[in-house]
Amino acid sequence: MNNVLNMAVPVFKGGLFLYSVVIIIITLSAVVVLMHRKVEIGHAMLAGSILLTALTVSSPLLFFQSVVATGRHPNTWEILVALFFVMCLEFQLRTSGLLDGLMSAARSKQISDKVLLAGIPAFLGFLPSMGGALFSAPMVENASRKYKMSPEQKTTVNYWFRHIWEFVNPITPSLLLVGQITHIALPDLIGSMGWFVVAAVVIGWIVCLSGLREVKEGKNENETAALSGEFVPLRKGMNSILLTAGPILLNLFLVVALHLAASASMAIVVMLMILVLKQKFANVRKMFRHGMDKKLLWGVGSVLLFQQVLQDTGILGGVVDMLETYRISPMIVAAALAFSSGILTGTSSGFVALSMPIIVALAPGDIATVTVGFVVGTAGQMLSPMHLCFLVTLKYFRADFTGSIKPIAIMEMMMIGLLFLRYGVFSRI
């Protein structure tokens, strides 16, 4: 535990551990309540950072140091710049008519709109990028027109199916990090967790799509063309498919093959699309204004600040110490530690970095314990109000936080139930 807590809180043996847990629960509960009351995510996370600083009896100077550290960290600007260009590309695909063209081409092949609803975010989920759900959100919006869907249902579909590859995608930083920390070969990890992809697809289809009802289609209007007023007519067929998938695949190539930062690769893709689409200067300016989404960027920045405050106050140390102190099954500790880390960080790499070193120390080389930790940690970060994909999807569809997170929680409970049955975790509790 850090010096601030050690000096500020006189407690009996074990009390500091409980104190840490209580502080984290209070802080996260406050953030969730604020978001439930429609408070902007940026404001809610800032309030959470301030509350966490106060509850740990930390100096106000520590909070301002966290602000400075967040602003100076290269990862902060990498994420913000990458998101800016993601918004720009989303604007290009949406207002150029390419998304409508893609949907028309798919429908001409008699592909079910339900398949499109699941398949589009799943396809784009191969590209591991912070807040990348923004890519598929406008396509899900398009594919959903045939059905009676609330903003919360669209949010759930887009968010869930984007993340079905978490367990097997070998280019995701989290899976690479697990392999490095545990010294377990990636093929073995993927083989151990591959069936969870099938489970995620089946559960997602049953919960999100099986009960959708069709609505009568109204007059067919080119909504995207009306939005831009400047672009060329709707592109159809293979041309629209190539121009829509091309930027995604090029970005994947630049990141994976050439090892470019996501911000740099997205900037290159957007600039090339300006040339391909022959955007006029006025439209480019409008695109940049769209990319500079202050609420979104402020929300992401506040999430990063909260993570910095978590680190600087040392509050996580108490949770880790508590789980190590009591004699509990390593598999139970792995699940509890990974889930809490996932909730706190909202990122797969974050919960892996926090939990896997402890899990390996408790059960070295045990692929079953590692699998339990990874799957439950994934559930935690999927339920975290700090997950950027969830944040940008909520923002895009203007959906309610509580109404969107409930079906995610139900599906994750089903996933964890299958996991616990598979490894006999219930018998260890």
pLDDT, tens only, 231-290? 444 445 567 778 877 887 887 788 767 878 778 888 999 999 999 999 999 999 999 998
Q: Exposed/middle/buried for 234, CB within 10 Å: 0-12, 13-18, 19+?
A: middle
Average pLDDT, the chain: 81
Q: When comparing pLDDT for 221 and 403, which is higher?
A: 403
At 411-425, the pLDDT tens digits run 999 999 999 998 887
CA–CA gap between residue 392 and residue 383 (Å, rounded): 14
First vs last C-alpha separation in the chain: 28
**Residue 209: DSSP 8-state:** I
- Alpha-carbon separation of residue 255 from 164, 252, 260 (angstroms): 20, 5, 5
pLDDT at 254: 83
At 133-183, the pLDDT tens digits run 877 888 888 888 889 899 999 999 999 999 999 998 866 778 877 887 788
At 62-107, the pLDDT tens digits run 999 999 999 998 878 887 888 788 888 878 887 887 766 766 776 6
Amino acid at the residue 103:
M
* Polymer length in residues for the chain: 429
By the 8 A CB rule, do 370 and 184 touch? yes
- Alpha-carbon separation of residue 38 from 183, 306, 346, 402 (angstroms): 44, 19, 20, 10
pLDDT at 128: 60
147 three-class SS? strand
pLDDT at 367: 93
pLDDT at 259: 77
Phi, psi of 63 (to 5 degrees): -65, -45
Q: When comparing pLDDT for 305 and 131, which is higher?
A: 305
CA–CA gap between residue 95 and residue 232 (Å, rounded): 10
Nearest CA among 411, 305, 323, 255 for reference residue 75? 305
pLDDT at 220: 43
> How many helices and strands in the chain, by DSSP H and E?
23, 0
